[in-house]
Structure 1
């Protein structure tokens, strides 16, 4: 059945055109119930004949949630108790426009055959489709469409009753008029006897957040409406921005307008907000170079703080006469909330530890210190004390000091290694759930027995006779690159880089590709890794293991004796690696002149060429920035850290890195020449001079100058910045220079001027990521671009040429890449804390930053850093024995002047988690130089470090990477 709708439309040019929209209605769409005789031949049956029974209805019930239930109560719907659920097409389409993240979670449920979530296309069924009435809003029309579909199911299904789940009272009333069984989520959940924990998971709706349980006093101003915000932005009265609160200073906000606590007006970190400037006499100086951690305040304390705090006020406010006054603003509206599930703990002080099993209002502290504490209502309060839990925010009424939320699930005990690892993955938004059966259905059906066949070789180079080898860390299983080199008759060399052909197994657009794109990258932690691809591919079929045939994508150059590229060619290939080396094993081949077999000769040729190529890169201005890694030795059974050491880089590390860089550069040139508007490239912006100001100032007393005009001048001045008596000084300087760099990012070539493609750190005009498709989705996209560019793939997806989609994908991958790095660093910090638990150790370190209320010290032996406070937390400004000089960047007391490069001894201990629910944290206190009232006595466990100047290893809690990270020792550019 075809329904047509015609209307006229006026174009921008004034032309009147007629538009005809056609809508097909069908009678062959089945209901999905397994015993329905009239539908079983139309569509695959999914719903059971007799779904679960609810006390609310006499018959077994199929659940039909409306859009807002899925949007607000997805945590409940994902519970295993919800099976035999009907998802209407109307609901799914509304949800996709409302939240793509929750839409994807629902699609995961519909793809799981065990959950039996059936999608019913009510908008194309001739008996359930409805027209929009005149004057009816689209929201009202969709609600009516949902009621109509549920009503049809009620007449159609004899063995069970459809239940409409909606928290909209008006929608429930209209559904009952039709004779439809309908309940709120809370009422339905409370009727289920076998899962009482679900009651705590129900999100509060408007009825719950009307303030009856909270209080009558209105603590915050009313938010402006969307229309008022839009008008204010257009008029220039309001300013739009994302609320970005500092991790180290909860009063510091990443907007040009400095916001006070009261004036945040219920905005939460990450929200897109509208800000109004306050009068000039209320402007204040920001709290720069100071660390402030929010105390665990009681209700009365916070009430007083909110009532009295002016913008920028705190216990450690700065003297506005000595700092630049900044504009101060007030949040007058929320443009878009960016709430997410938060990990943390229940505030034990808020729990009544005696009494019955009824619900309690308790407070939850998020692990993310930028999030305010959240009020939740739970029956499990006593049992949740000391546990890591997940809480979701439901809303923040004006008459509540805190946002309200609901319990989602328990993760485990506070301090447990596995629990804390799961928490850091959640907090950094790193997907880590096992791959679904739907995703794994796209793996080769042969499984581990899959082999390269003649049909796979067609169109590929057969390179199985070449002496190819791989060089990786010990225990590496995801080997995605291999190399070879051999002399040519003309005196030149043939050099090849061979990368795992992941695109052969992961086809564009299928569920496995979508999951890989969602994950973006493999996440490497100290004790585990979270793979981007199922293990069958990552550690087996794609991994370029030795002595087995593997599919690859090869780049082969002809290089002369001076390391100059004469020609290059690209193609897919079949290889058979002759050996899988560790770095130490490959280094032994390099160092042993007796090793003259073809593979060893190839490694020596590669090393010879790599050194010449590296010198040419350095001459062009490429930077050598120190970034070694910390490596934990874990006890085999308990996986507890028993030792920690710094990683040592060898010639073979540099060898592999050099040819990975070369491959990435040449592939970037190739894909850009064919896809100038849609290539996925990677750039490293030039850092502004202001980023170097503190470092340059610290170098002045040493008579050392860095020329930061270009990467070449910076590289040359770094080479010259040597103090003969301090061998570590140059390494330290390179560490600190790394901190001044901008972040390298993926981008779509059509969105950026060509002169901005420049990769500052590599001094390369163009760059991309090609060499790690097992662990980075960007590389997989580049493989597809290269295959299309050389004509191997003539049926490539149109998304490869879609500038908008490539830009959106680049943004997602930048987000995932950044979060994976942060998760890796958090894992290092977690295991460092575990290592120092029950220890009190004195270690030598070096001051790398000076703050108003302390200084940051980096410890060479462990590659960790921490703050030595010179002012007690919460103390009034001026109570410290040290005077802060922002011009000289020093802290001065009668006994000591603290400045960058100062060598100190600190005492390292672990402070257990406090009431705010953060992890146990590493604490540093000054031992020497001795300062009365600040220094602590030595612990007697000093580990001496040779007198080698103010040098530190090339790692810190900010730059550390976990030891399992494979590509960190290759190209991290």
Structure 2
């Protein structure tokens, strides 16, 4: 049966057009019930007799459940519970959820494909008996609710012969429930249904809290009168007219009572001072901001204030802005004008997620309790649970349901227990959840894409490729590396030039477009390296075996071959799919030993020496062009492998050798060469990587800090900056140059993937590398961006036809957005893992080490400890301090009346140990040893990673300071 549907649709340009579509109707759509007499067939998702554990006692008959759209959107955690089975998902509901929330849609699809859930999608929109037309003056929402009721009623007429099983509609919409009851359709609210389940005590905590239930229970002391949000229509009109600014909310990492909004339409972040100015925005939310008059703009607070979780004990703030009440009076003079200030007047899109943390100790016997998130940029969350006693000392997950304007806290609901607080496995899982890292085992659909084992390289495949197995190819990696992406070689040609080759694992041979494995790799985006673990982008059979360029086995590769003169001038380049056989898998130390040992004169060692010679020339040319050499200390842990807990025995900053630079230079050369090639072939849809030049304003503080020690930094260009960094040497301070490079790193913008057709060519440049065009080609085992680049490069040489789904610039841009997000989170997850193991290292130790002052606040010194690669804070009583901003100095006057002066870049001796009094946020405590100050008390504070972002971001999900040197990072 064929129907014609006509409707109006607004285009992207705002035009309204009339659309005519043919709508096919069928009468043979199966109901999904096992052994259904009318539909026939035995293999159906819905069980003939649902298990008793999934049956609510509110209904005295076996039944399936049919949730409406709002139940799916707001109660997805409950629907994922193992005891909620036999679920009918209507096409109407599935389409609505897809349009409203892609994250929940993905989770709903996972429920549908999980065979143990016995879920079935009923295509009611194409079933002749249940399809409903939209009535005149009927809203789209009312029409969809009616379609849900009609389908439920149809099921209950269709199924009685199927052993008496019926269908219950779940809805929290009062009108929808009332109309269903008038038609004698079995229905219940989600809370009524759950309360009738045999294990309701466990499952009721999964219920998302309704606004009215939380408001009535909020203690008087936890109430706050936030401003109302503007209506959605007013917000959209304001953004369109420019009266409001749309941007992403970030909490300040230096003062939790302040926030920033970064907006594309605004040149610099907008400062929000005080709780009411932030107006219930949570990190990552897309918000609408109204700018305050310029005469109300203020500087960020110079008081360091970290959220310790006890917000009710913290000083309150003024209505819109200003410092915390009772805060010390700060100097009004400033070296720079204040940033623009504003207030949140509306929420465009919430970016809530699952939050890890602990339940605060209960202050009463009620069912409402405060949850303290691990992420300090997130406020405490009020949840309803009857399991408070058993949840003490546990890491748990909570979701936010809403935030009433009269409550200091958002309301949410308990999801699940991760494990015991302090347990290493549980803490590792917290890191993955907090950084949105997908760590589930690969699904059966993904594993089904793997080649049969044992895999054999066929003669037909060899015949298609260039056979390079005769070359002296080797790989150079860190110790223990199993996912070997790349190998290299150099050999003398008869004409006196050299052939230099970079050979990259041919992952695209095994990962075909649009397969389940390809989709999973695109979703994960990157391999995540933790201190004690690795979360792979691809299954181990590929990453550590068939794609890994291990020695003495035949492997498929994508090779980039240059002909170079002895002076390292490029004569020609060729790209080819190849077969290689690596002669050795070397560590950096082993390769360096070959370079240094002049007695070794074998062909492989000669190849490495020639590569090293060329690498030095390439590096010198990069720096001459303006590439930056910055500092970002990475630490390495030596583990106690005889102890099953694998405790860290030592922690030191990693030492880099010449061979590290050897590999880096040729990876950079390959990436630049490939970028040029794919851009020539696909100028509108190449996946490239850019590093924007930072605004000069980002350097203002650093430049003024350097002047305090008579060092001049020229930031007019990357070349001038590189030259001035080379000159930034203080003979009496040997660590100063490294310190200034670390601080320069923090002024950088974040490097990003982008689609070439979305930006003018002058914006392609990679600032840190001084490269006019750049991409990622050399690590396809661990980065999905490289997989896309391999496909584009393969198409450019005629190996494969271009995949049309990857060549639209909007498609590439969407993919780039996810890859940028995944790449940032992987970086921060790795740093969080290092931080966890640093705490474990110091747990039973007290050490004294050198530290250097890298920030001076009016009540604190921020100190970096180079040996361990972290920084922490030394607080002072602000009544005893005198802060001089122009000199970046702090004078402390103690009870003995003697002044102690601290300046930017001063060296101190600090004693370091762990304070475990706060189990969730254990602290690395720094105590001054030199200079010795009698009677000085130090407030414990969290250690902060060296590469944390600047004050415009606040959280490990925010954009990190870019490491402009795109090094080859392996674990």
TM-score, normalised to structure 1, is 0.90
Q: Is the 8 A contact 1:48 1:84 kept in 2?
A: yes
Matches within 5 A, 1:26-37: 26-37=26-37
Matched pairs, number: 929
Aligned to 1:39: 39
Q: Is the 8 A contact 1:311 1:328 kept in 2?
A: no
Matched residues in 2 for 1:15 and 1:334: separation? 26
Moved more, 589-598 or 801-810: 589-598
Aligned to 1:947: none
Residue 716 to residue 120, structure 1, CA distance change in 2 (3 Å): same
1:29-83 CA-partner distances (Å, limit 9, x unpaired): 2222231254356x96222222223223333222222221121111111111122
Give RMSD over aligned pairs. Answer: 2.9
Aligned to 1:743: 750
Aligned to 2:626: 621
Matches within 5 A, 1:242-391: 242-255=248-261, 256-277=270-291, 283=296, 285-297=298-310, 305=316, 311-316=322-327, 319=330, 321-323=332-334, 324=337, 328-350=341-363, 352=365, 360-391=367-398
Out of 663, 669, 687, which is 1:662 matched to? 669
Deviation of 1:136 after TM superposition, in Å, equals: 0.9
Secondary structure, counterpart of 1:196 in structure 2: helix
Aligned to 2:807: 801
Deviation of 1:778 after TM superposition, in Å, equals: 0.9
Q: Is the 8 A contact 2:631 2:745 kept in 1?
A: yes
Matches within 5 A, 1:865-944: 865-871=871-877, 878-880=878-880, 882-893=881-892, 894-912=898-916, 914=918, 918-934=920-936
1:720-779 CA-partner distances (Å, limit 9, x unpaired): 333445443333332232222221111111111101111111111100001111111111
Q: Is the 8 A contact 1:657 1:971 kept in 2?
A: no
Aligned to 1:582: 587
Matched residues in 1 for 2:326 and 2:543: separation? 52
Unaligned runs of 5+ in 2: 262-269, 893-897, 940-944, 951-955, 957-962
Matched residues in 2 for 1:275 and 1:16: separation? 29
Matched residues in 2 for 1:195 and 1:496: separation? 64
Residue 642 to residue 790, structure 1, CA distance change in 2 (3 Å): same
Secondary structure, counterpart of 2:125 in structure 1: coil
Residue 417 to residue 559, structure 1, CA distance change in 2 (3 Å): same
Q: Is the 8 A contact 2:274 2:319 kept in 1?
A: no
Matched residues in 2 for 1:332 and 1:173: separation? 35
Unaligned runs of 5+ in 1: 353-358, 872-877, 938-953
Q: Is the 8 A contact 1:261 1:311 kept in 2?
A: no
Moved more, 10-19 or 327-336: 10-19
Residue 797 to residue 127, structure 1, CA distance change in 2 (3 Å): farther
Matched residues in 2 for 1:783 and 1:548: separation? 22
Matched residues in 2 for 1:479 and 1:202: separation? 46
Q: Is the 8 A contact 1:244 1:270 kept in 2?
A: yes
Aligned to 2:82: 80
Q: Is the 8 A contact 1:470 1:579 kept in 2?
A: yes
Aligned to 1:95: 97
Secondary structure, counterpart of 1:305 in structure 2: coil
Q: Is the 8 A contact 1:112 1:437 kept in 2?
A: no
Residue 465 to residue 430, structure 1, CA distance change in 2 (3 Å): same
2:557 is the counterpart of 1:525 = no
Matched residues in 2 for 1:688 and 1:845: separation? 30
Matched residues in 2 for 1:625 and 1:891: separation? 28
Matched residues in 1 for 2:26 and 2:581: separation? 54
1:193-215 CA-partner distances (Å, limit 9, x unpaired): 14632110111135535636667
Matched residues in 2 for 1:934 and 1:16: separation? 70
Matched residues in 1 for 2:14 and 2:248: separation? 39
Aligned to 1:785: 792
Matched residues in 2 for 1:515 and 1:13: separation? 33
Aligned to 2:208: 203
Secondary structure, counterpart of 1:350 in structure 2: coil
Matched residues in 2 for 1:548 and 1:13: separation? 56
Aligned to 1:219: 225
TM-score, normalised to structure 2, is 0.90
Q: Is the 8 A contact 1:645 1:862 kept in 2?
A: yes
Residue 9 to residue 37, structure 1, CA distance change in 2 (3 Å): closer
Residue 651 to residue 40, structure 1, CA distance change in 2 (3 Å): farther
Matched residues in 1 for 2:589 and 2:15: separation? 73
Matched residues in 2 for 1:822 and 1:656: separation? 24
1:598-640 CA-partner distances (Å, limit 9, x unpaired): 2222212211221122122122121222334210112222122
Q: Is the 8 A contact 1:438 1:511 kept in 2?
A: yes
Aligned to 1:812: 818
Out of 548, 556, 559, which is 1:554 matched to? 559
Aligned to 2:115: 113
2:636 is the counterpart of 1:631 = yes
Matched residues in 1 for 2:284 and 2:444: separation? 34
Q: Is the 8 A contact 1:345 1:388 kept in 2?
A: yes
Deviation of 1:132 after TM superposition, in Å, equals: 1.0
1:309-363 CA-partner distances (Å, limit 9, x unpaired): 85443443653732455665433322222221211111114354xxxxxx61111
Aligned to 1:572: 577
Matched residues in 2 for 1:136 and 1:18: separation? 19
Out of 489, 500, 510, which is 1:495 matched to? 500
Aligned to 1:875: none
1:690-728 CA-partner distances (Å, limit 9, x unpaired): 333333333335443232222222222323333445443
Aligned to 1:836: 842
Residue 250 to residue 484, structure 1, CA distance change in 2 (3 Å): same
